[in-house]
Amino acid sequence: MRSPHARHRLDDVIHAPVRFSIVATLASVDEAEFALVRDEVEVSDSVLSKQVSILEQAGYVKVRKGYVGKRPRTWLSLTRSGSSAYSGHLAALREIAGA
């Protein structure tokens, strides 16, 4: 029996372009500031907030709030489940790219 095509293993949550960029940025770090992710992904605060909420609901991203001095800061990180989903997504992309 043939195994299903790699496209079926692409993660629907991560596949959206902005969310893919967010997850790709977070994949190389333990934690990143919200503002840095916003700048790297080149989106507005509100767009990033919305996309992060979707990733958070999927259990892929963890949001931590704190302060640096008196300034409030938000940090984002990939959860273990998010990291695993991203690895699976990349593996599927590699398979498609090599097809």
Q: According to CB under 8 A, which one of 1, 4, 12, 44 is a site residue for other proteins?
A: 12
Residue 93: Cβ-neighbour burial (10 angstroms; 0-12, 13-18, 19+): middle
Question: With binding defined as CB under 8 A, does residue 21 bind other proteins?
Answer: yes
- The separation between the first and the last C-alpha atoms of the chain, rounded to the nearest angstrom, is 19
Please give the angle made by the CA atoms of 73, 74 and 80, to the nearest 5 degrees. Answer: 150
String marking each residue 40-79 x if it binds other proteins according to CB under 8 A: x---------------------------xx----------
Instruction: Residue 80: count other Cβ atoms within 10 Å of its Cβ.
Output: 10
- The residue among 27 and 47 lying less far from other proteins, judged by its C-beta, is 27
DSSP state of 9: G
Which stretches of the chain bind other proteins, using CB under 8 A?
7-8, 10-12, 15, 20-21, 24-25, 27-33, 35-36, 40, 68-69, 90, 93-94, 96-99
